[in-house]
Amino acid sequence: MKKILPNLNNKLPLSDAHHNKMIQLLDTLKETTHLKPDEFLYILDHITQVEKEYLFSLAKATKNTYYQNRVYLRALIEISNYCKQGCKYCGINHTIETVERYRLSKTDILKTCETAYLLGYRTFVIQGGEDAYYTDELLVDLIHIIKHIYPDTRITLSLGERPKASLQKLFDAGVDRYLLRHETASKRLYEHIHPAFMSFEHRRQVLTNLKEIGYQVGAGFMVGLPTQTNKDLVKDLDYLKDLSPHMIGIGPYLCHSQTELAGNQSGSLDETLVMVALTRLILPKALLPATTALGTLHNTGREQALNAGANVMMPNVSPTENRKQYEIYQNKICTGDTSLECRGCIETRIKAFDHEIDLGVGDFYDLERTKNDR
């Protein structure tokens, strides 16, 4: 039984009264960037294809106000598929014995940064499972080297929940941004998709810590999770509005057959795009990636996200031989391509949807303005 956005695929239009109320709520959201929880719930409970198209047009117009049709590219480097955590949806969590594990050395990572830099990328996103191999000492040294060789770049880390003192050291060493999806703002749902040793409160505390330290912070959530309801999604919108992260990654839940959640239905493209568009309206200046998971669901999923308010893409520059091993979900796209092929492919795709690539560092809107005003 469908749990979220139940009318999204309805062929029948809403009654005039419902349709008019939806349009009025969406217009108010665009103007004020906020709605009450019951108003968000009304949208999610009633939205059909007709109002979806209107929502996308508002989200795209909002994005264009700040970022025009530019799409920032980030080079994604997946450094390790070792992880001590046990997220039940994840194909590389520590319980999955069939995974062939790998990790990149400092030298491997530096070589990959060089490849990425030569391809024009000016943000390196260093992502991995929670792997104790990457000590503060190793990372601080790595960051110093990267910043020394490539002073005109930004470094983003996505290495899970680290202690505040560790995050402070990495920030002091020169890391600019940190991605840590909150996954879901519903405590009930968080506990359903994580083992008992993982804490809803702790994850949110780490996000608060990142903001206090001064990072450009990325949060984010999954759409279509098993047992997820529209009320859970409203909590995501409310939480994001309160936290006001600089970046927000929103992807469909994609069911992995080797995980504890095997057999569940995956999230859909349309459901996810609606949440991307609503997020654009509540946080108009946010950097919103068109996630690779969307490209896995549909050949043009990422490009369609650009038309629903997204403005970032993260081409994979990890060594091709390791890409298949970083399998948080199955059938991930681009695992057999070289970094050069990915670079060309992504540019063609972005242009085909009337957007342009931007190879600048792509900071959050207000930070870019501050620098330019100096």
Asked whether position 249 contacts ligand SF4 by CB under 6 A, the answer is: no
Q: Which of 85, 199, 325, 338 forms a contact with ligand SF4 (CB under 6 A)?
A: 85
Q: Which is nearer to ligand SF4, 92 or 317 (CB)?
A: 92
Asked whether position 93 contacts ligand SF4 by CB under 6 A, the answer is: yes
Asked whether position 330 contacts ligand SF4 by CB under 6 A, the answer is: no
Beta bridge partners of 356: 70
The widest CA-to-CA distance across the chain, in whole angstroms, is: 62
Report the alpha-carbon distance of residue 35 to residue 78 in Å, rounded. 37
Kindly provide the b/e burial profile for residues 183-209, where b requires at least 16 CB atoms within 10 angstroms of the residue's own CB. Answer: bbbbeebbeebbeeebebeebbebbeb
Nearest to 210 by CA among 166, 268, 260, 147: 166
Report the alpha-carbon distance of residue 16 to residue 21 in Å, rounded. 8
Q: How far is the CB of 56 from ligand SF4 (least distance, A)?
A: 29
3 state DSSP class of 25: helix
Q: Which is nearer to ligand SF4, 86 or 174 (CB)?
A: 86
Q: In sequence order, which residues have a C-beta less than 8 Å from that of residue 349 and are 6 or more positions away?
A: 300, 302, 303
Which span (3-11, 90-98, 109-117, 353-361) binds ligand SF4, by CB under 6 A? 90-98
Q: How far is the CB of 161 from ligand SF4 (least distance, A)?
A: 8
Q: Which is nearer to ligand SF4, 246 or 256 (CB)?
A: 256
DSSP state of 79: E
3 state DSSP class of 119: coil
Q: Which is nearer to ligand SF4, 22 or 83 (CB)?
A: 83
Q: How far is the CB of 87 from ligand SF4 (least distance, A)?
A: 3
Alpha-carbon torsion angle 185, 293, 74, 52, nearest 10: -70
Asked whether position 219 contacts ligand SF4 by CB under 6 A, the answer is: no
Q: Which of 254, 328, 334, 350 forms a contact with ligand SF4 (CB under 6 A)?
A: 328
Which span (85-93, 118-126, 213-221, 307-315) binds ligand SF4, by CB under 6 A? 85-93
Q: Which is nearer to ligand SF4, 88 or 298 (CB)?
A: 88
Q: At what angle do helices 230-243 and 37-46 cross, to 10 degrees?
A: 130
Which span (9-17, 86-94, 257-265, 348-356) binds ligand SF4, by CB under 6 A? 86-94
Q: Which of 71, 90, 254, 277 forms a contact with ligand SF4 (CB under 6 A)?
A: 90
Q: How far is the CB of 148 from ligand SF4 (least distance, A)?
A: 29
Count, residues near ligand SF4 per rule CB under 6 A: 10
Report the alpha-carbon distance of residue 124 to residue 149 in Å, rounded. 13
Q: How far is the CB of 6 from ligand SF4 (least distance, A)?
A: 28
Per-residue tokens: 143: 């960051």
Residue tagged 């979220």 (tokens):
4
Kindly provide the b/e burial profile for residues 274-295, where b requires at least 16 CB atoms within 10 angstroms of the residue's own CB. Answer: bbbbbbbbbbbbbbbbbbbbbb
3 state DSSP class of 123: strand
3 state DSSP class of 8: coil
Site for ligand SF4 in 115-174 (CB under 6 A): 129-130, 160
Asked whether position 87 contacts ligand SF4 by CB under 6 A, the answer is: yes
Q: Which is nearer to ligand SF4, 87 or 310 (CB)?
A: 87
Q: Which is nearer to ligand SF4, 190 or 215 (CB)?
A: 190
Q: Is the dihedral of CA 228, 278, 72, 138 positive or negative?
A: negative
Q: How far is the CB of 217 from ligand SF4 (least distance, A)?
A: 17
What does the binding site for ligand SF4 look like in residue numbers (CB under 6 A)?
Answer: 83, 85, 87, 90, 92-93, 129-130, 160, 328
